[in-house]
Amino acid sequence: MLETRALNVRFGGMRVVKDVSLTFAAGQVTGLIGPNGAGKTTLFDCVTGFVKAHTGTVLVDGRPLRRLAPHLVAAAGVARTFQTPRMFDSLTTLENLVVAGAPASSLSSFLTTFRARHHRSLVDLLTTRAREQAAFVGLTEVRENRADALSGGQRKLLEIGRALMREPKVLLLDEPVAGVNPVLARQIAATIRQVAERGVAVGVIEHNMEFVMANCTHVYVMAQGSELASGAADDVRRRPEVLEAYLGGHQ
């Protein structure tokens, strides 16, 4: 569903992502792990058009994306979340979901005319979808609460719900359970598995190995910008080169 081919990212003279070719398959949760600074987030940033690729190709459904710009990547069906959730703190859970479902090209006008009459039917439609999405991610009870009143884990769930409002084919999650209490982490994991069961290709960067072991069917390991290993989660984590990378052998 999502593929990178020989992707390279440079920051100044530093190669941060080096010839990385990964596949995120439909209906699967694919893990992307590796020590701090390995280039994982930069890879997601590049795939979603937030940083520029030096060379390489990103394909969605086998078709190369001609230009990697965030709105074009989103329009191709790729959604993402960030390490620190990005949302509108002064809006409620439901409003945040509604806004996330608005067509990207008209987002600013949509925001300014949020309550205007000629947007009524779109708002009604999006509100219905937002209620369904709030229920799907388990946030019905707090759907009228402001986003800044939610717990860290609830904000992670809201961010996933926001990403799902555009019905993506690919969902990339950057550390979805980092700093989240175990109860909400299980809820997040269950939500992610359900998203994959719907046929979405889910890619997850996560340092929590317990989460990776339990939820990822396939895992890629990055170290110092390169792909170091890949395979089944349990197999990959036993490999000497992976252990060495985590212990600092590749620094």
Q: Is 11 in the site for ligand ATP (CB under 6 A)?
A: yes
Report the nearest approach of ligand ATP to the CB of residue 243 (Å).
Answer: 17
- Measured from the CB atom, the residue of 46 and 79 that comes closer to ligand ATP is 46
Residues 172-201, one symbol each (x = binds ligand ATP by CB under 6 A, - = not), give ------------------------------
CA atoms within 13 A on the CB side of 79: 20
Shortest spacing between CB 16 and ligand ATP, in angstroms: 4
Minimum distance from CB of 25 to ligand ATP (Å)?
22
Binding to ligand ATP by residue 42, rule CB under 6 A? yes
Q: Which of 3, 4, 22, 39 binds ligand ATP (CB under 6 A)?
A: 39
38 binds ligand ATP (CB under 6 A): yes
Single-letter code of the amino acid located at 203: G
- Among 4, 28, 30, 41, the residue binding ligand ATP under the rule CB under 6 A is 41
**Three-state secondary structure string covering 96-165:** HHHHHHCCHHHHHHHHHCCCCHHHHHHHHHHHHHHHHHHHHCCCHHHCCCEHHHCCHHHHHHHHHHHHHC
One-letter amino acid for residue 246 of the chain: Y
Q: How many residues bind ligand ATP (CB under 6 A)?
A: 10
Residue 119 backbone dihedrals phi, psi, to 5 degrees: -100, 0
* Choices 18-26, 38-46, 85-93, 116-124 (CB under 6 A): range interacting with ligand ATP: 38-46
CB nearer ligand ATP, residue 13 or residue 240: 13
Which one of residues 5, 15, 19, 37 is an interface residue with ligand ATP (CB under 6 A)? 37
Given 1, 2, 7, 16, the residue binding ligand ATP (CB under 6 A): 16
When binding is defined by CB under 6 A, the residue of 34, 56, 77, 153 that contacts ligand ATP is 34
Which residues are near ligand ATP by CB under 6 A? 11, 16, 34, 36-42
